[in-house]
Amino acid sequence: MRGQLILALFGVLLVVQCASTWLFLEERRSAIRAFTAKEGASRVINVARELEQAPAATRTTILRAAESRELRLDVDQVALARRSDAEPLAQLTREITRLLEPPPGRDLAIVLAKPEAGGFPRSAPYEGDWDEDPLMLVVSVALNDRRFLNARIDIGEPPLQWAWPAFISILLTACGVVAAVWFLSGHIAGPMATLAVASIRLGRGEPLEPLLPSGPTEVRQVTEAFNEMAERLTRLLNERARMLAAIGHDLRSPITAMQLRVELLEDTESRERLEACLDEIQSLVQAALALARGASTDEPRVTVNLHDLLKELVGELVEAGGKATLAAPAEVSIMARSASLKRALRNIAENAVRYGGKADIRILRCQNHVRIEIEDDGPGIREADRERVFEPFVRLEISRSRNTGGSGLGLSIARTVIESHGGSVTLEQAPAGGSRAVILWPAL
């Protein structure tokens, strides 16, 4: 945030300063031209007065004596300043006429022209010494014999001069503004960064202390709203977990009583049907308790060696008669609630063994996370159903047999546990045709 604000500020300052410099240079150029025109016009008027008073034989001498490197003079029947291919400076002409107050009837005209334009040649004896400037001023003054004294003035380009006081002032202003932006953005960005971290921790289900409001009024209001939201969400989640646990616990007693009464029935067929129903109810209650335990955040997070945990899980699956393998580095540590993590991975791996024939487990280290893959050799799951299977009590008939049992809460519990740690779990098609569960876990 700070970097973006400072870059934007520097961009604006650069544009503004470039525009100001351009305006300054244009104003300076115009001022120099006006001064040059005023001095040239004054000199031309004086020369015109001398020409009118001098004998005809000395006029050429007067013209050559009045010329210089920047000034050319000649007398002609045509006023060069009246040509249409030059840029008239009418306002400047009026201003100079007002300041110099030439004699009555003295016609004065000033234009801006290109030195090589038609009708504006560079004349001897100075043509080789004249600067190669793009523009020149042409001043024409009427003489009393109906001719015109034409003057061509090399205005040149003013040398580039650094205004060091102005440059230092701009630099100090920029530093002051950047320092102020740095402080103000930190005053805003600090609380916002804390709020972002707290949001991530809340999403992972970690215990969270109320944030201390700081920064501007708006940021304080956001922090207070977040504290209130976090408190409500935590309370709702805890109430849901306690409700599920209470329901599951309270149902155990009547289920046990019903099982005892069923065993006393003499009708074997009725007794077996009721026992099957009670077993199904019992499995649902146990799944509800497992879901409540998965949503609970009371278990502390510790550093877990993922290789050892999965090695133990694979051993348990093999002992139970299933097929399972593990390919993983010897040391892969993550932060997790150990019991909850093992329960989630067990649910996914048992599904792979039960419905896919085996569970091939792999661990891959990535830059910002650990990737866990659990692959089976089953018929696979359609793409449209890969997200539905994580919903509570959802079972897919095309790839899941009701004769194998299960309540449809295993994958839901696994996703709840994994997402509470800040991870994610998805299903995809395995290269061999089965299903592959991909679990991304935050790395240490």
pLDDT value at position 160? 59
In a domain, 16, yes or no: no
Give the start-end residues of each E strand in 135-241.
Answer: 136-142, 148-153
Residues 333 and 424 in one domain: yes
| Whether 380 contacts 257, CB under 8 Å | no
Confirm whether 12 is domain-assigned.
no
Distances (CA, A) of 163 to 23, 156, 158, 310: 14, 20, 14, 73
- The single residue listed with the structure tokens 């029935």 is 265
Co-location of 305 and 369 in the same domain:
yes
- Domain count along the chain: 3
| 324 touches 359 (CB < 8 A) | yes
Q: Outline where 357-409 has alpha helix (H).
A: none
0.85 surpassed by pTM: no
Measure the CA–CA gap between 4 and 185, rounded to whole angstroms.
Answer: 10
Question: Averaged in consecutive runs of 10 residues, what is the pLDDT profile of the chain (444 residues)?
Answer: 75 80 78 76 81 82 82 82 71 69 66 60 43 68 82 69 69 81 80 86 76 86 90 81 75 81 79 80 71 62 90 91 90 86 90 89 89 90 86 63 57 84 88 89 83
Read off the CATH number of the domain in which 398 is found.
Answer: 3.30.565.10
CATH number, position 237: 1.10.287.130
- Give domain status of residue 171, yes or no: no
Does residue 237 sit in the same domain as residue 310? no
Antiparallel, parallel or unpaired: β 324-327 and 359-365? parallel
Examine residue 25 and state whether it is found in any structural domain, yes or no. no
75, 62 contact by CB (below 8 A): no
265 in the same domain as 195:
yes
Q: Are residues 334 and 420 in the same domain?
A: yes
Instruction: Report yes or no on 208 lying in a domain.
Output: yes
- Return the C-alpha torsion angle 139, 145, 147, 150, nearest 10: -30
C-alpha–C-alpha distance, residues 138 and 47, integer Å: 15
Tell me, yes or no, whether 234 and 137 share the same domain: no
- Contacts of 45-51 spanning 24+ positions with Cβ under 8 A: 45/100, 45/102, 45/106, 45/108, 45/141, 47/73, 47/149, 47/151, 48/106, 48/141, 48/143, 48/149, 49/103, 51/75, 51/143, 51/149
Q: Which residues contact 404 (CB under 8 A, 6 or more apart)?
A: 354, 355
The predicted structure's pLDDT at residue 312: 92
Residues 313 and 435 in one domain: yes
Task: Name the domain boundary from 297, 313, 339.
Answer: 297
pLDDT of residue 436: 93
Give the domain extent around 88: 36-153
Claim to verify: residue 49 and residue 116 sit in the same structural domain: yes
Residue 138 lies inside a defined structural domain of this protein: yes
The three-class DSSP label of residue 441 is strand
Please check whether residues 128 and 193 belong to one and the same domain.
no
Specify whether the CB–CB gap between 205 and 41 falls below 8 A. Answer: no
Based on the fold, state whether residues 203 and 292 are members of the same structural domain: yes
- Choose among 300, 22, 65, 12: nearest CA to 160: 22
Residue 427 burial (CB count, 10 A): 20
311 and 432: one domain?
yes
Q: Which residues contact 413 (CB under 8 A, 6 or more apart)?
A: 287, 290, 291, 294, 343, 344, 347
What type of residue is 202? L
Of 236, 422, 398, 243, residue with least CA distance to 341: 422
Check residue 80 and give its pLDDT.
77
Residues 272 and 329 occupy one common structural domain: no
Tokens of 161: 């001069």
